[in-house]
Structure 1
Amino acid sequence: MQEPVLVSPDGHEVADLADALPSGRFVLGISGAPGAGKSTLARALATAYGAPVVPMDGFHRTTADLVARGRLDAKGAPDTFDAEAYAALLRRLHCGGDVLAPSFEHGQPDPRADTIPVPGSAGLVLTEGNYLLLDRPEWRPVRLELDAVWHVVTDDAVRLQRLVARHVAAGRAPSHAEAWVERVDQPNATLVEAAATRADVVLDLSAWSGRLERGGPRRRS
């Protein structure tokens, strides 16, 4: 993996990278292991640049589908997402016009279709998820549809605490949450980090406060 960019508490390194992106439609992927800070970074960029966010989580397979496949207990693993549908939506983002993307909320069983509007006028569009860089046949088309991917890492102890807290907030007992992190999230994290060499930039968010301060205005056509 390339040398990470150490992100300061004010996040100016991220703002500098974002300000240097080309104008016009640009689909930026944010990858990272579970709990690394992908969603937080995507939200901060969305606020600073007025960019819509299309989460990979919107392409979770439905509970009924996972039950039929015998994979409900592995929800979150690469094969529990519809990578083909995800790549197809990313492809549509490059074609112009308004697009509706699905959303997903932790604690809810299934994604909700057509709930995130991406206007044709949007320049920067963000998408975030674990497996954007995964070097597997069903996931390679996802990477091909992304103009760039920023991979995020953070202190592992903090990341694991976040994961357990997330599962508890979604309704799992603490012991169940810890077991799930060890059995499902950590093996997935190993897969994600093994693919990080395919990223354009690696960002270490360990010291980042969650704020994003821009150094100057950014113009997009």
Structure 2
Amino acid sequence: MQILERSLDGLAAVASRLATGGERRILGIAGPPGAGKSTLAEALSAALGPDTAVVVAMDGFHLANRVLDMLGYRERKGAPETFDDGGYAALLRRLRLQGPGEPIIYAPEFRRDLEEPVGSAVPVRCDVPLLITEGNYLLLPTRAWPQARSQLDTVWYVELEEAERIRRLTDRHAAYGKSPADAAAWAAGSDQANAELVAAYASKADAVVRLVP
């Protein structure tokens, strides 16, 4: 497995090489909750520019809260079964096959201020060569996750020191409305179980990413 211990500029240079050749390429960024996947994906997209890269995140396929309530999954929100993994895999395939001259495809996004997915929020033009997708479960071998993985040209696994990852995750929960105690409990409970599951398949990634200044 390749180790990419690079600055953001260095990682952007690696990603930019994927965007050459005239065909749509898809970079997957995996890792546990709080590792910095979303931040890295958005930073790479910004560095490469809107004509080169666009981010479509797995989190846009969170099941709606009312569906989670109906299924009895609300307390496990964020676990693999609380996503529409089949829909995510189908969208990735559609985006991979989006050819020259074809219309814009609209992808969903997850709004943390609402704690809900919002449909048709991310426009993807056919002439943008690099799609960046990020999420916890890109490497899982169950359900429809392997179908999603099959659409990705390469997957990076973001590695972060554990105490820092948990601190960031707890701070994020608190920033979006949880009490400090509830934020810490969620990070140590449901999130930690998901993190351990994700880490079990880290070796399936093509590269481990360690972001350095």
Determine if the TM-score, normalized by the shorter chain, exceeds 0.5: yes
The SS at the match of 1:19 is: helix
Contact 2:8 2:44 survives alignment (8 Å): no
Task: Report how far residue 52 of structure 1 moved.
Answer: 1.0
Q: Which residue is 1:17 aligned to?
A: 14
Mapping 1:128-207, distance limit 5 Å: 128-205=134-211
User: Following the alignment from structure 1 to structure 2, what is the Cα–Cα distance between the partners of residues 198 and 15?
Assistant: 22
1:133-173 CA-partner distances (Å, limit 9, x unpaired): 11113211110111111111111111111100110011000
Task: Report how far residue 179 of structure 1 moved.
Answer: 0.4
The SS at the match of 1:4 is: strand
User: Following the alignment from structure 2 to structure 1, what is the Cα–Cα distance between the partners of residues 121 and 13?
Assistant: 31
Does 2:62 correspond to 1:60?
Answer: yes
Q: Please, which moves more after superposition, 81-90 or 143-152? A: 143-152
Q: What code does the residue aligned with 2:128 have?
A: A
Gaps of 5+ in 1: 210-221
Q: What code does the residue aligned with 1:113 have?
A: G
User: Following the alignment from structure 1 to structure 2, what is the Cα–Cα distance between the partners of residues 15 and 58?
Assistant: 24
User: Following the alignment from structure 1 to structure 2, what is the Cα–Cα distance between the partners of residues 66 and 19?
Assistant: 38
User: Following the alignment from structure 2 to structure 1, what is the Cα–Cα distance between the partners of residues 96 and 121?
Assistant: 19
Change (3 A) 1:176 1:199: same
User: Following the alignment from structure 2 to structure 1, what is the Cα–Cα distance between the partners of residues 67 and 87?
Assistant: 14
Q: What code does the residue aligned with 1:17 have?
A: V
Q: What code does the residue aligned with 1:13 have?
A: G
Contact 2:89 2:144 survives alignment (8 Å): no
User: Following the alignment from structure 2 to structure 1, what is the Cα–Cα distance between the partners of residues 111 and 118?
Assistant: 9
Percent identical pairs in the alignment equals: 45
Does 2:43 correspond to 1:44?
Answer: yes
Mapping 1:40-119, distance limit 5 Å: 40-50=39-49, 51-96=53-98, 97=102, 98-119=104-125
User: Following the alignment from structure 1 to structure 2, what is the Cα–Cα distance between the partners of residues 36 and 16?
Assistant: 21
Q: What code does the residue aligned with 1:35 have?
A: G
Q: What code does the residue aligned with 2:10 have?
A: E
The SS at the match of 1:165 is: helix
Task: Report how far residue 109 of structure 1 moved.
Answer: 3.1
Task: Report how far residue 76 of structure 1 moved.
Answer: 0.4
Q: What code does the residue aligned with 1:145 have?
A: Q
1:186-213 CA-partner distances (Å, limit 9, x unpaired): 11011111111111111112xx34xxxx
Q: What code does the residue aligned with 1:56 have?
A: M
User: Following the alignment from structure 2 to structure 1, what is the Cα–Cα distance between the partners of residues 46 and 113?
Assistant: 24
User: Following the alignment from structure 1 to structure 2, what is the Cα–Cα distance between the partners of residues 25 and 38?
Assistant: 21
Q: Which residue is 1:215 aligned to?
A: none
Q: Which residue is 1:35 aligned to?
A: 34
1:4-55 CA-partner distances (Å, limit 9, x unpaired): 3222xx4343133223324321011111111111111111110111211001
User: Following the alignment from structure 1 to structure 2, what is the Cα–Cα distance between the partners of residues 193 and 19?
Assistant: 27
Q: What code does the residue aligned with 1:88 have?
A: A
Task: Report how far residue 107 of structure 1 moved.
Answer: 3.2
The SS at the match of 1:86 is: helix
